[in-house]
Structure 1
Amino acid sequence: MIKKRITSPHVGEPPEKTWSNCLVVGNQFFISGMTARDGTTVLGGDSMYGQAQAVFTKIRHLIEAAGGKPNDVVKVLIFVTDIKRREEVWKARAELFSGDFPASTLVECSALAAPELLVEVEAVGFFGAGG
């Protein structure tokens, strides 16, 4: 099997030689931890819900660029800086997925890559898994 890097015009690319936002290997896709950062702007401001919406929108764009659907996601790993605000992330997650939701892990961490970031999400899926 060969890995293929997927890009989307709706998701900024990381600096060269750092990581890939999305890779496809066979019928699987792997999406790196997405944050609400868009250049120098943080989409959603200081709202965990707003940032989560931006993150899940990026994930949707990458999945669609790869040829899949959001419901093809089978696992998400979510990092938040304040576990007490987790319902905000769950609300945004419910706007992306339907039917059988992906397996999910939610972890509180003391900080993400920049102090203004509140949520980061990784996703793994299989094309066609969503029916």
Structure 2
Amino acid sequence: MPMKPVIPPGTGKTLAPYSPGVVADGIVYVSGTLPLDAETNVVHVGDPTAQTHHVLKTIQSVIEAAGGAMADVTFNSIFLTDWAHYAAINAVYAQYFPGDKPARYCIQCGLVKKDALIEIATVAHIGRT
């Protein structure tokens, strides 16, 4: 099955050798997304609400570049550094998924950038490509 990298316009450099997203057989796989600017600096340090918005907007740009929409998201893997941010993250998350909610899991862990409070990886089904 062929795959096609998805790199939205304006995407900055990545931290490692990966694509922001990949489409294969009508499924978009979005890499773990941190709250980073184009130079891989963490944005909105200390603010879980703003970081979550940044992450979800970045994910949205990948899905839209692949021809989909946030309503096509079927699964999210959420990684946070502190359970104290869980309510703030969920409040933002609910804004991006107002209708039927995708399946997900959420774990607390360390992240590759020390000032990042959240990372999300996503799967969306956009149909056959």
Q: Structure 1 length normalisation: TM-score?
A: 0.89
CA contact (8 A) 1:76 1:124 kept: yes
Partner of 1:61: 61
Partner of 1:28: 27
CA distance in 2, matches of 1:24, 1:91: 29
CA-atom RMSD in angstroms: 1.5
Q: Structure 2 length normalisation: TM-score?
A: 0.91
Partner of 1:51: 51
SS of alignment partner, residue 63 of structure 1: helix
Partner of 1:96: 96
> How big is the shift at 1:41?
3.3
CA distance in 2, matches of 1:18, 1:41: 17
CA distance in 1, matches of 2:124, 2:13: 20
CA contact (8 A) 2:13 2:40 kept: no
Gaps of 5+ in 2: none
Deviations 1:38-94 (A, max 9, x none): 115322221011111100000000000000000100000000000121011111111
Gaps of 5+ in 1: none
Flag as ranges the 4+ runs of structure 1 deviating above 6 A: none
SS of alignment partner, residue 105 of structure 1: strand
SS of alignment partner, residue 42 of structure 1: coil
User: Quick check: 1:107 aligned with 2:82?
Assistant: no
What percent identity do the matched residue pairs reach? 30
